[in-house]
Structure 1
Amino acid sequence: MSWHQTVFELIDMRSFPSLWFWIFLASSWSVATWRVLGVPHDMILRARDPGSEAERDLAALVQINCRRLLALGAGLGAWGLGGAAFLFTTLFLLGFFYDIEIAQALFLLGFPLALAGSASLTLARRLQARPLAGPLLCRCLLRHRLLLQSIGVVAIIVTVLWGTYQNISSTALIG
């Protein structure tokens, strides 16, 4: 048996029947929604107390992470956006027009995460231009977390529906 047969046997190229794909999907969205702009959710909840040390820590951490995200976004710039557009277009075409299941899975996993990242970058720009503090900052971050959770729920539902359809149709072809 050659090395590439061993690799493809070890890593099943059919993504939707794989338990690892579903674990990765759930954990990706869990991580994406737990930290809003790099700030853990529990820290946001503790900072709702006006005048507390947690409130000052939150404002400082948000500013640090906004600068970090904006520097990352500026470093990627138009080339990063073009590369991401090329990647997702390629995955979409390979997955849904050429029926390559791993491309479908990668698109359904990556594209919504990229939308969530884009929303976070937009919020970072807004907070850098007009900094918020106190309860307004907490409300803004919690609202953004709700947006990320909404994107995640829709992405997971679409992925589950598509994955179920793929599993049923591949089983129907075999049987």
Structure 2
Amino acid sequence: MKNIIIALLASGLLASCGMTEITPGVYNQPLDTPSWVDEPPVEDNVKYFVGASAQFTSEGQARQHARINAYQQLSEFVGFKLDSKFTELTGEQTGFGTQFGAGKYLQKKTMVTEVAVGKSFIKEYHMNRLLVNERPIFVGYVLIGVSRADVAHAIDRSGVLKPNPEKLEQLLDDAKNS
């Protein structure tokens, strides 16, 4: 019994000698963010979206993650606008009614979103390079924009709102003013 206790104490001592102290990463400088991160610019003809990245070990990864985040916000905006206007114009909930089948609506919604993302442009990048535990870490921000007219044109060309064409002009005006 005594040998077992001695063996346990010895192995505990040896195991603790091999452990590395883990310390959480601490930024040695604050994040520098441009004003458009908190308040994107407001323009009559362009809608802006801000993408932010997580922490990455390369600048390229941080840029890519920030772009994906911004494109996701743009896609959600276009999808929401399309769903709202479709319901308003047709009385059908997001295309699941009898005039316009769900699959066809979702296909056209995807097409409109892809066109909007394709028409978007990158206005500005902003990168932070931080040292965390003596290693460089990158956090990125991107400001992307899309012309409101391009979004309205993509919606019009998709034919998604054909069930009630007399209100299409109002939809286009609303898209330009939103």
TM-score between both structures, scaled by the size of structure 1: 0.30
Flag the structure with higher helix content.
1
Larger RCO of the pair (alpha carbons < 8 Å, separation 6+): 1
Which structure has the larger Rg?
2
Higher strand share: 2
